[in-house]
Amino acid sequence: MRALIHRISSHTAPSAPRFASWARRGFVLAVLVGLFGLTARESCAQQSPAQPAQEGLRLGRMIAQSELEFGWRQLFLGGNRDLYRSQINLDEGLRLLGLSFTSRYPENTGSLFDLLTYSMTSWGGDPYNTVSLRVEKRGVYRFDFGYSRIVYYNFLPTFANPLLGRGEQLGQHSMDATRRRSEYRLTLFPDADFRLHLAYERNAQFGSAFTTFPIGLDEFLLLDPPRTTTDEYRVGVDVRLGRLYLTVEQGFRAFKNDIHTNQPEGTINLGNNRNPANPTSANPQQIFLQTFARDSGVRGLIPTTRLGLQGRVHRTLLLAGRFAYSDASIDFTRQERAAGNLFDLSALRYVTTQTSMSFAQASRPNALADASVNYRPHRRLTVINTTRFQHFTIAGDVRTRTEQQLSADLRGPLPSPQMRLVTEWLGARTSVDSFFNYVEGAVELTPRVVLRAGH
């Protein structure tokens, strides 16, 4: 297992002293050139009169503007690289710090679009990157796209590290994962009394990670790479009805999580405790894990309905209301197989093989409604009433079946191997109803003094 830890947490060898010296000199030279350029620009700005800002490059009826910012980051690191990456994680090299591009038709006379904006930030190796795009044709459509990438690196012990005494600083729940999120949103007739919205969002995480398998008197370090994906679809309309604005939206969110927890083939895992188990018993044995594989999958679906209504029905009366309903359902499956020489405290026996299967499902219907009334009969008097109601139910059950091949107990070998079967079932249901109402009155005694009271 030591080779496994070394392979995943290895680093690039340090640069040669000659290259490090050259890099430091180049960095200092770049700083001096930048300071000289900044001083020269300020001097020219003081000598020349102020000029109006440029509106951009005009191409026919279109005006285009663009900005580009890039630079070089030099890193001088001493100490633990895992600590630096877990806290900051900014590497060296050439970076695209920012890029923006705008193309517009001032008279809104473009054939395909009237406005196009595009921007990028922090590309070239940084742990957080973004891209955004907007294309708009006034009165017809507006399209927005967003993308972000986040690298999450944490190789610090977040739990008690039992291997610290042996000089191993790797956290047994470390992670080096990447999360990517993209969103697409299209609005039709954005300036009309009837607007249509279409949206799609995807969120995915992947990478490498560690976890532990606890059984009996020991814990074993395993590979646990994350694989999660969320897809969300939304469609909605905004309607103006006189003085009222109505919003209706329907969404569907699908969640998937598939994880293959395993131990590399051909590896003997001695666990965190290298000493024989039960050393004071008549039959102490070395605990080890020879093979392990666990496949767990989660499937979730969340349909969501949202309604909103607001408007000023009178110059003194403002109304707003919202209703949201969702019905989340989740299915979970797990299949696990372990082989070696393990010890089960519940049976007080050594175990050579263990297989386990679990099936679970859960649901959570949730309804939320709130409304507010803002009444202002006088410019110095305001009365606000807010009401909120929520109801949700969480129900689920889980079934587990475990089979074990038993070999010996604390006193010695048994006459023949025995099988042990353990079945478990657990079900739970919880319902919550909550109601909230708040009334507040405010009187403006002077422009600087306001008296408030509420219940």
Whether residue 9 is predicted with pLDDT greater than 60 in this model: the reply is: no
pLDDT tens-place string over residues 10-21: 333 334 344 344
pTM comes to 0.80
Distance CA 361, CA 332 (A): 6
Contact yes or no for 64/18 (Cβ under 8 A): no
Which residues have C-beta within 8 Å of that of residue 28, sequence separation ≥ 6?
none
- Nearest to residue 247, comparing CAs of 320, 312, 301, 316? 320
Whether residue 404 is predicted with pLDDT greater than 50 in this model: the reply is: yes
pLDDT tens-place string over residues 193-236: 999 999 999 999 999 999 999 988 788 999 999 999 999 999 99
User: What is the structure's pLDDT at 450?
Assistant: 93
Whether residue 418 is predicted with pLDDT greater than 70 in this model: the reply is: yes
Whether residue 5 is predicted with pLDDT greater than 90 in this model: the reply is: no
CA distances (Å), origin 62, targets 72, 116, 143, 144: 34, 11, 19, 21
pLDDT tens-place string over residues 160-201: 677 767 767 678 888 999 999 999 999 999 999 999 999 999
**Confidence band of 399 (pLDDT split at 50, 70, 90):** very high
- Asked which of 18-22, 64-68, 137-141 is least confident by mean pLDDT, the reply is 18-22
Whether residue 392 is predicted with pLDDT greater than 80 in this model: the reply is: yes
**Confidence band of 54 (pLDDT split at 50, 70, 90):** low
**Confidence band of 416 (pLDDT split at 50, 70, 90):** low
**Confidence band of 276 (pLDDT split at 50, 70, 90):** confident
What are the boundaries of each domain within the chain? 56-172, 193-455
Q: Which amino acid is at 419?
A: M
Rounded to 5 degrees, φ, ψ at 82 are -65, -40
Average pLDDT taken over every residue of the chain: 85
